[in-house]
C-alpha cells in the first residue's frame, strides 16, 4: 500500500514524500512426518524342549511377540530343517500324521490350543497392533527313529516375520 504525505517547508517549497507500508505478517507452521515402521521383539529367543524320547511331542509355553513398530502388522512364521552335531539332519515336514526316520513337525498356535504346522514358507498366524504383545506357542514332534549318525542336540529354527497388513 502506498500513502502520499504532503509537507510544507518554511521556505515555501512543497515537498512530497512517499511512504511504503507493508501489508502482511508472517507465521511459520512446522510440519513433521513419521514414516511407517515395522518391528517385532520377542521375550524369548530360545526354547529348550529338554531331554525327550524319540517320537514324542512337547509344548514350548508362551512366547510374547511385541509389535515395536507404529502400524498394525501380520505375524508370519516358518520353520526349517534341523542342524546339529554330526552329519544327520532332521527334515521339517508340514502336516505329517505319520513321521518316518529323521522327520519332525513344528507347530505354532496363537492361543495355545489350535496348532498349525509350520512349513518352510511363511504363513500368517496373528495380527498385532502397535505396542501390543501377542503370545504364541510352539509344539514339536520328534522323529520316531533317527539314523546311526545321530550324536546329540538338534536346533530346529522358527523364523518370525512381521509384514504390513
Confidence band for 141, pLDDT divided at 50, 70 and 90:
very high
Q: How confident is the model at residue 83 (pLDDT cuts 50, 70, 90)?
A: confident
When the pLDDT of each residue in the chain is averaged and rounded to a whole number, the result is 86
pLDDT of residue 148: 67
pLDDT band at 3 (very low <50, low <70, confident <90, very high): low
State the CATH number of the domain containing residue 82. 2.60.40
Residue with cell 514358507: 121
| pLDDT tops 60 at residue 135 | yes
Q: In the structure, what pLDDT confidence band is assigned to residue 14 with cuts at 50, 70 and 90? A: low
Q: What's the rounded mean pLDDT across residues 40-63? A: 93
The secondary element (H helix, E strand) that includes residue 79 is strand 73-79
Integer angstrom CA distances of residue 100 from 22, 81, 103: 88, 14, 6
Look at 13 and 24; give whichever has higher pLDDT: 24
Cα separation, 130 vs 80, whole angstroms: 28
Question: Is residue 24 predicted with pLDDT exceeding 70?
Answer: yes
In a domain, 30, yes or no: no
Q: Is the pLDDT of residue 77 over 60?
A: yes
Domain annotation covers residue 87: yes
Residue 5 confidence (pLDDT) above 70: no
Contact assessment for residue 63 and residue 136, using Cβ atoms and an 8 Å cutoff:
yes
DSSP for 100-142, please give it: -TTEEEEEEESSSSS-EE--SS-EEEEEE-TT-EEEEEEEEE-
Domain span holding position 109: 40-45+52-164
- Asked if the structure places residue 139 within a domain, the reply is yes
Its pTM stands at 0.78
For the stretch 76-88, what's the b/e string if a residue is b when 16 or more beta carbons lie within 10 angstroms of its beta carbon? bbbbbbbeeeeeb
Domains contained in the chain, number: 1
pLDDT above 70 coverage of the chain, percent: 84
Examine the pLDDT at 88 and tell me if it is beyond 90. Answer: no
Please report whether residue 28 resides in a domain: no
Amino acid at each position: 500500500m502506498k500513502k502520499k504525505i504532503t509537507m510544507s517547508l518554511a521556505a515555501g517549497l512543497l515537498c512530497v514524500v512517499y511512504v511504503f507500508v507493508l501489508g502482511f505478517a508472517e507465521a511459520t507452521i512446522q510440519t513433521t512426518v513419521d514414516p511407517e515402521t515395522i518391528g517385532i521383539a520377542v521375550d524369548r529367543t530360545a526354547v529348550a524342549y529338554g531331554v525327550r524320547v524319540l517320537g514324542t511331542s512337547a509344548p514350548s509355553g508362551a512366547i510374547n511377540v511385541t509389535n515395536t513398530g507404529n502400524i498394525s502388522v501380520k505375524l508370519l512364521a516358518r520353520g526349517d530343517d534341523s542342524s546339529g552335531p554330526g552329519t544327520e539332519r532332521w527334515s521339517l515336514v508340514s502336516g505329517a500324521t505319520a513321521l518316518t526316520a529323521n522327520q519332525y513337525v513344528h507347530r505354532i498356535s496363537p492361543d495355545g490350543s489350535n496348532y498349525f504346522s509350520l512349513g518352510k514358507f511363511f504363513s500368517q498366524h496373528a495380527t498385532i497392533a502397535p505396542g501390543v504383545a501377542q503370545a504364541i506357542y510352539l509344539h514339536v514332534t520328534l522323529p520316531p527313529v533317527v539314523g546311526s549318525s545321530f550324536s546329540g542336540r538338534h536346533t530346529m529354527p522358527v523364523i518370525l516375520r512381521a509384514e504390513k497388513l
